[in-house]
Amino acid sequence: MKRLAGLSTLALIISATSGCGWLWGDDGYFRDRGSDYLSARQVAPMQVPVDGDIRPLDPLLPIPSQVADSTHTGEYEVPRPQRLQVAAQVSDFSIQSSEDSRWLVAQRAPAQVWAATRQFFVQNGFDIADERPQTGEFSTAWQRGDQLDPAVARNLGLQDDEARVRVRVEPGVQRNTSEVYVLSVKRPLGSSEEITWPQTASNPELDRVLLDELHAKLASSAEQAGSVSLLAERDFDAPSRVTLSDDGAGIPVLQLETDFDRAWSSVGRALQAGDVRVDDLDRSLGVYYVNLAEGAKDPQEKPGFFGRLFGGEDKDEIEARAERYQLRLTRAGDKVLVTLDKGIDAVAPADVARRVLSLIKDNLG
């Protein structure tokens, strides 16, 4: 009972004093002092006797002159903080290293990186002596430092030597990524000695400078939204030799002299260019599942208003006229064989297979 009486008394006191100006409000004891600094004034500096030995004194908390202004009166509303600007962006190009090896990783398709990398070396004065777009390799001629761009040659250290460079562009571990490897050899000026390409870097410092310069150039070009022509892309992935013939059983076979990665990507683009519909694919099995009765699908194309309203074409009608086949890529040594099957255990009619493989051959760059 005493506790209840005490609480009642305390509540009565608080309610009675809540309207008192001496306790709350602008002039009360518990007033808000958040804006007091607006009316603060700077006082005169401390005066010290003339014969005193003092150190210079600086105010610990000086009041800015623009704040101590008589025009600023009343409450001050603190502005909301501005959003932080993200200055650093993840680059599409990076340098990776493992033990004694360094290479450049690009979040770009090999065909694009090939064209940009080749352009970098040509623009800096390197002469391309040998190139194989189908395997993603090119080599430069023997170059002196005075034959190259001064900005690049300055860091290469070729005062008494000449160098030759081999560049290799390979598909990366992830889809649509690339890896660039640079390997150089040197010999004294005036020497005619033939030097074979080593298995590992023999001039790591020269390789490092070239790779760093290439990295900077590719990153800069990406920021400027540089593009690569489709012709360069086709030249890179196109097999060096394409042959359409029949095997011993009379089954048409398309033979590509290239590795599987480039054969897979170039055949996929050839199907798109030939307006062949790909319903599904399985890269691990090397199979494109095609429907010859329909045109190629555009992944960016969406149904229009009336297509969404009425549900588009009847699926039963599409299924009724479907001509489904399996386009199969098979490794055979250093070549890839492309055949058309009706199913796992059934080959396609020879005339249909020859027509589809000829279409692919014509669109392989």
16 with 56: CB under 8 angstroms?
A: no
pLDDT at 307: 47
pLDDT of 324 over the 80 cut: yes
pTM for this model (two decimals): 0.46
Average pLDDT, the chain: 77
pLDDT at position 28 over 80: no
* pLDDT given for residue 51 in this prediction: 76
Residue 10's contacts (CB-CB under 8 Å, 6 or more residues apart) are: none
Most confident among 21-30, 175-184, 312-321 (mean pLDDT): 175-184
69-79 per-position pLDDT tens digit: 556 566 767 77
pLDDT value of residue 150: 82
pLDDT at 309: 43
CATH class of 93-228: alpha beta
Q: Is the separation of the CB atoms in 201 and 182 below 8 Å?
A: no
Alpha helices in the chain (DSSP H): 2-17, 110-123, 150-156, 204-223, 230-237, 260-273, 305-310, 315-320, 350-362
pLDDT digits (tens, 9 = 90+) for 237-280: 555 578 888 888 888 999 988 778 778 877 888 888 888 888 88
CATH number of 238-299+307-362: 3.40.30.10, 3.30.1540.10, 3.30.310.170, 3.20.20.70? Answer: 3.30.310.170
pLDDT-wise least confident of 86-90, 142-146, 184-188: 86-90
Residues with Cβ < 8 Å from 340, sequence gap 6 or more? 252, 325, 326, 327, 328, 347, 348, 352, 353, 356, 357
Domain range summary for the chain, segments of one domain joined by +? 93-228, 238-299+307-362
Place 328 in a pLDDT band, splitting at 50, 70 and 90: very high
Give residue 252's pLDDT.
92
pLDDT in tens, 18-27: 555 566 666 7
Q: What is the pLDDT of residues 287-297, one digit of tens each?
A: 999 988 877 65
pLDDT at 310: 45
| Distance from C-alpha of 364 to C-alpha of 15, rounded to nearest angstrom | 89
Higher-scoring residue by pLDDT: 59, 133: 133
What average pLDDT does range 296-303 have in this prediction? 51
Fold: same for 93-228 and 238-299+307-362: no
Confidence of residue 308 (pLDDT cuts 50, 70, 90): very low
Residue 329 pLDDT: 93
Q: Is the pLDDT of residue 172 over 50?
A: yes
Q: Which residue did the predictor score with more confidence, 27 or 233?
A: 27
